[in-house]
Amino acid sequence: MKRQKALYLGGGLILVLFSFAVINYSNVLKADTSGVYPQLEKFSDCLGIIEKSYVEDVPAEKLIEGAIKGMVTTLDPHSAYLTKEGYKEMQISTTGSFGGLGIEIGIRDDLLTVITPIEGTPAFDAGILPGDKIIRIEGASTVDMGLEDAVKLLRGPKGSEVTISILRQSLESPFDITITRAIIHIESVKSQMLEPGYGYIKVRNFQVDTSEDIYNALEEMGPLKGLILDLRYNPGGLLDQAVAVSDLFLSEGKIVYTDGRRPEDKTEYVARRDGAFDDFPMVVLINAGSASAAEIVSGALQDNRRAVVVGVKSFGKASVQTIRPLSDGSALKLTVARYYTPSGRSIQATGIEPDIWVEEQPPVKEQDKTQGFIREKDLKDHLEPEADIDETEEPLNGSARQILKKDNQLRYGLDLLKSWEVFSWAKKAA
């Protein structure tokens, strides 16, 4: 797998530690500017007037940089100009650790918006939700604030606190929340057995070795009756890893295709792995925090009828970005293509619709589940069973029992997988 030629599919700037790969253009194509010379002349006139007549002396570099930022802001919310400092911070954040909150942010409706919190980070633990609008950071309004400036305010030393004001769609008034920054380490893949024969793999993001980690987890699990692939709160990552993960479960068929203005941005990806893990039922879990690369995987498995998608509608990002370094050390993050699922769907701004819609629900207290119900064995002087009944539960490790108790979508997915086995028995009996 050629890591140096990976396309990035993240929804915005990520305040977490992610492995990051981009196309490195050493020879950036020169744009054909013949049709814009009159506009460039107008720009030159404005620059000259400002330099000569503005009340204070402003460095030309600052003016040019402001003009570039303004130009890029007329594009989509995922394109951005990165200053030297901003580009260096992005490189540092993808190769080392830093103090952060664990959220991915972007601009939506001209407001700083949480694309998704990352599970296990301070933001997730504090209850930040996908779609939350951050309207103030430490009292400073985020209106007209760029992503780079927002990142500077949100990051900080481990153990320090930052107060943000949140506007949530379900609430009438904004509210403040104070979060303690932490060093963010993201483990891309976590796996375990839920019950004998039923595996669970949680993918938190798509980074360099994600597909290899999933392959190793599946090998370790051994033969399966069913698998749950959990892509909830997954903001995306690398295109090549989304393709490779889909390829693990598909023996044939399209995975995704991209379409841009340049020939090199028009690419079709198909399944080609021999001996794929394609011989057991699958459920894919998604929610509003499932974005980009996570949507490629869920869309590919759904369109190829390889898995049943369960949860709620995903985020809806179907565009591809590259980072193009500029000669002075700054960079341009640019949307270069749209992507489409195997059936030709564009899920841009619409998201992946689950096959079975299951809303997330808070855990039900144990006493609430049994209150008001009695069984025959609870009645006084009930007849004893004719044979000894083994009432021990199926072997289930403590960790699996805890997450199933708290997660109704996961429980539904497991029940769905087990029903496949039941119906297969019924079909054979018939």
The domain spanning residue 119 has which CATH number?
Answer: 2.30.42.10
**Residue 55 pLDDT > 90, yes or no?**
yes
Reply yes or no on whether the pLDDT at 15 is more than 80: no
Alpha-carbon distance 222 to 407, whole Å? 25
Q: What is the pLDDT of residue 10?
A: 60
In our burial notation (b when 16+ CB lie closer than 10 A, e otherwise), range 180-200 reads: ebbebebebbebebbbebbbb
Question: What pLDDT was estimated at residue 33?
Answer: 57
Burial class (CB in 10 A: 0-12, 13-18, 19+), 249: buried
Radius of gyration, CA atoms only, the chain: 25
Q: Is 52 a catalytic residue?
A: no
Q: What's the pLDDT score for residue 20?
A: 31
Which is higher by pLDDT, 99 or 32? 99
Average pLDDT over residues 144-166: 92
> Alpha carbon of 220 to those of 191, 193, 245, 284: distances in Å?
10, 10, 16, 20
Question: Is residue 317 among the annotated active site residues?
Answer: yes
CA gap 318, 324 in Å, rounded: 20
Active-site entry in 303, 319, 333, 407: 303
Q: Which of the pair, 4 or 81, is modelled with greater confidence?
A: 81
Within a domain: residue 395?
A: no
Is the pLDDT score of 221 beyond 70?
Answer: yes
Rounded to whole angstroms, the Cα distance separating 28 from 82 reads: 16
Residue with tokens 């490779």: 244
Region 128-155: what's the mean pLDDT?
Answer: 93
**% of the chain at pLDDT higher than 90:** 67
- Whether 109 is in a domain gets the answer yes
- At position 282, the amino acid (one-letter code) is M
Evaluate if residue 25 carries a pLDDT over 80: no
**Which listed residue (202, 254, 317, 333) is catalytic?**
317
Neighbours of 344 (CB within 10 A): 9
The per-residue pLDDT for 427 is: 60
In angstroms, the CA 5 to CA 40 distance is 33
29-43, 270-284, 379-393: least confident range = 379-393
Is residue 225 assigned to a domain?
no
The rounded mean pLDDT for the chain is: 87
State how beta strands 267-270 and 111-117 pair.
unpaired
Q: Flag whether 122 is in a domain.
A: yes
Is 20 inside any structural domain?
Answer: no
User: What does the alpha-carbon distance between residue 333 and residue 82 come to, in Å, rounded to a whole number?
Assistant: 7
DSSP 206: B
Q: Whole-angstrom Cα distance, residue 403 to residue 411?
A: 9
**pLDDT for 277:** 96
Burial of 398 (0-12, 13-18, 19+ CB in 10 A): exposed
**Is the pLDDT confidence value at 28 over 50?**
no
Distance of CA 281 to the CA centre of its chain: 24
- Position 24 scores a pLDDT of 38
Q: Which of 93, 191, 292, 298 is catalytic?
A: 292
Question: How many angstroms separate the CA atoms of 136 and 150, rounded?
Answer: 10
Burial of 411 (0-12, 13-18, 19+ CB in 10 A): middle
Domain that holds residue 156: 98-183
Residue 166 domain flag: yes
For 163, the 3-state DSSP assignment is strand
Higher model confidence: residue 380 or residue 395?
Answer: 380
144 within domain boundaries: yes
Inside any domain, residue 335: no
- Checking if the pLDDT of 234 tops 50, the result is yes
**pLDDT for res 275:** 63
Q: How many domains does the chain have?
A: 1
Q: Which of 84-98, 113-127, 386-400 has the highest mean pLDDT?
A: 113-127
314 pLDDT higher than 70:
yes
Model confidence pLDDT, tens digit, residues 239-261: 999 999 999 999 999 999 999 99
Q: What is the pLDDT of residue 424?
A: 76
Spatial separation of the C-alpha atoms in residues 249 and 278, rounded to whole Å: 5
What are the φ and ψ backbone dihedral angles of 243, each rounded to 5 degrees? -65, -45
Q: What is the pLDDT of residues 414-426, one digit of tens each?
A: 999 999 988 877 6
Q: Is the pLDDT of residue 2 over 70?
A: no
| Rounded Cα distance, 288 and 284, in Å | 14
Close Cβ partners of 68 (under 8 Å, ≥ 6 residues apart): 81
State the pLDDT confidence band at 345, using cuts at 50, 70 and 90: very high
Residue pLDDT, tens place only, 198-214: 999 999 999 999 999 99
Q: Residue 411: in which H helix or E strand, if any?
A: helix 408-429
- Most confidently modeled of 286-290, 361-365, 383-387? 286-290
